[in-house]
Amino acid sequence: MRSALNELPEIPALVADGVITDPDSAKGRLLSASATLFKQKGFARTTVRDIAAEVGILSGSIFHHFPNKESILLAVMSEAIYLALARMRNAIEGEASIPKRFRALVRCELEAIHGFTGVGFTLLSSEWRYLSEESQKEVLKLRDEYEAFHRGVYAEAKEQGLIKVEPFFLRHFLRGALAETANWFHLDGDYSLDELVEQVSLTAALPS
């Protein structure tokens, strides 16, 4: 079965560059199954045997791709950030309007939070503590790049007088608010994703 991730336009280039794993490969299917189980059961309660059963392979086969369970979690998180970064860059490429760029970034983050790009992105907060110190540093480096991307657009908005709050504070407020939508916003609910993006933009006092 072809992975839904392969429908995303960013995937082929990222796979070709060796940045992420081909979702349709054996390793890609293993990562996808692992991410889903980590989301459903938690990293600590998910066993290698659980992952193998989900993929339909022997437990020992997993170690042909990853040395241990933590390395799977690290790959899931890292690839989720690489994909999010690529989608954000594509979303604002050639767009001069700061409000439109802001809305594009908000939409990209909401799509990641609500599973458009797989469940790996949501694991960054819930399962972070299970990474070793070395692995945390690796993910933090990518996360810093992701956060700097957001703050760069916010800084341009402030320079143009479109917002008054400092980019650092705005980003922290919005990151928490967007993450919280996982607990109350539903794609099949009363509001569409586009409407949610617009409400977030109004909250930031950005013009249309």
Please write the tens of the pLDDT for every residue from 28-73: 999 999 999 999 999 999 999 999 999 999 999 999 999 999 999 9
Tokens 């991730």, located at residue: 5
For residue 202, what pLDDT band results from cuts at 50, 70 and 90?
confident
- The Cα–Cα gap between 55 and 11 comes to 21
For residue 205, what pLDDT band results from cuts at 50, 70 and 90?
confident
pLDDT at 5: 75
Q: What proportion of the chain, given as a percentage, has pLDDT over 90? A: 87
Q: Is the pLDDT of residue 208 over 70?
A: no
pLDDT at 1: 43
Q: Is the pLDDT of residue 13 over 60?
A: yes
Identify the helix (H) or strand (E) that includes residue 50: helix 48-55
Helices 167-180 and 133-159 cross at an angle (nearest 10°) of: 120
> 155-188, pLDDT tens digit by residue?
999 999 998 889 999 999 999 999 999 999 998 8
List, in order of start, the domains of the chain with CATH numbers.
Answer: 2-203 (1.10.357.10)
pLDDT at 204: 80
pLDDT at 19: 94
Query: In whole numbers, what is the pLDDT of the chain averaged over residues?
Result: 93
Quote the tokens at residue 12: 């082929």
Integer CA distances (angstroms), 41 to 38, 45, 73, 116, 122, in order: 5, 6, 13, 20, 13
Question: Are the C-beta atoms of residues 178 and 107 closer than 8 Å to each other?
Answer: no
Q: What proportion of the chain, given as a percentage, has pLDDT over 70? A: 97
Greater pLDDT, 192 or 205: 192
Q: Is the pLDDT of residue 127 over 60?
A: yes
Q: Which amino acid is at 118?
A: G
